[in-house]
Structure 1
């Protein structure tokens, strides 16, 4: 069984974390034991996602089981007064950056969804790699990850240990791809069928 830790923070995009949570949560659902155990982590709780959804994280950043797969979702932007929120704020949060670096050392895979790539970029994990992000976040991504080859026409980009996806729903496609990479395409296809989701194969 692989453990999957999904980072949460205020103003997170709901589908960015809920889509991958669903994919890894139902993949191989008839197996015993199941192939994945999914949990959420946050600096503190509760977390208030976009449009006011309240979420209680399973664990805090400094107290959770070892994560085999880390998922860093996105969501956020800048207020009219110039202050940032969501992933654009968290990419400058030392607690989050240190957690990504620390947990990433022992993780098998590090995934980002949408502007979660900003956090990986600011943590230095995308230097010299290729990556994608939300199509409306190009300039922000260039600032967060100036040493990264942006591939904005790609639904997801696989660098081996680090995989990034484009915006929002692309996190589901990336997660299904990872299920297929780890467990075989038949398991990924069955997961997509169960979810009644037509994914980009």
Structure 2
């Protein structure tokens, strides 16, 4: 049996504990107690969350755990000497240590993330980088595994992180079944973006929004600047200038991001060969799509497909 410890503190966010359901349903799926979940705190009493609900906990001790997960808060958690000491010593008493959302700040404060890759909620990622310049912060990742240290983005990403742990421990089929029982489409791969391309671009004018909407509906087209400018009722020069001013990107880069997002969804939801996916979303060939995936997600399209609930082992033989 693997002992799982959730580290909580005054003002922790209850959503962090959603990850505990992943371990619970893994036990249900296997009809045995593979995971033994505990809630740990400095006082060992009832701990009040940010929304007023309380959770009964056990006091910090030197007992070993397979996995320790540090919960997050609505903002950056306030640390105490005892909390930091426990977190700092966590790698000596656990096989893996994880932080959910802003719990990453506690890990960073101890120095455990120095020289490592890590992520947190996108709203606070830059502050994490500023406070802890020795941490390699990747602000647009669902979760990151760097050796025995795991970190995740916002609260719901803790569920993806826990599903990834179950997959490593018990295999992908068990993780898929757990995801289905939790009414999740499937776990998001760690390299995925925290938010969608259209939300990320946040155009300020209706004209630029219209051009992006047109692009998303015509990804198979060449989508030249002239074509997008016509959709926005602007000259090509006016459009390029306005587009960069409003989104911070060139039209070509934004279109590539839209194509990557559409391709990722097709890789996850269908069994189409890579060549078909590349053609449907407007990439010239599979190699250009592969390079775009590696730039965006740090992994090729085939890695995304392996996480898909429709994936079959022989799919990649013909991909």
Could you say whether these structures have the same fold, taking a TM-score greater than 0.5 normalized by the shorter chain as the test?
yes
Counterpart selection for 1:89 from 78, 87, 100: 78
User: CA 1:195 to 1:32, structure 2 compared with 1: closer, same or farther past 3 Å?
Assistant: closer
Aligned to 1:14: 14
Aligned to 2:4: 4
Correspondence 1:177-196 to 2 at 5 A: 177-196=164-183
User: CA 1:43 to 1:144, structure 2 compared with 1: closer, same or farther past 3 Å?
Assistant: farther
Q: Deviations over 1:61-102 (max 9, x none)?
A: 136x4211000011143xxxxxxxxx4312xx1101111122
Structure 2, unaligned stretches of length 5 or more? 189-306, 308-319
Runs of 4+ in 1 over 4 A off after TM superposition: none
Higher helix content, 1 or 2 = 2
Aligned to 1:176: 163
Aligned length: 187
SS in 2 for 1:50: coil
CA shift for structure 1 position 32: 5.5
Counterpart selection for 1:160 from 143, 147, 158: 147
What's the TM-score once normalised by structure 1's chain length? Answer: 0.87
Higher strand content, 1 or 2 = 1
What's the TM-score once normalised by structure 2's chain length? Answer: 0.56
Measured in 1, the distance between the counterparts of 2:85 and 2:161 equals: 24
SS in 1 for 2:51: helix
SS in 2 for 1:197: coil
Aligned to 2:105: 118
User: CA 1:27 to 1:123, structure 2 compared with 1: closer, same or farther past 3 Å?
Assistant: same
User: CA 1:62 to 1:28, structure 2 compared with 1: closer, same or farther past 3 Å?
Assistant: closer
SS in 2 for 1:172: helix
Correspondence 1:43-54 to 2 at 5 A: 43-44=42-43, 45-54=45-54
Measured on the aligned residues, the alpha-carbon RMSD in Å equals 1.6
Q: Is this contact kept in 1: 2:15–2:155, CA < 8 A?
A: yes
Structure 1, unaligned stretches of length 5 or more? 78-86
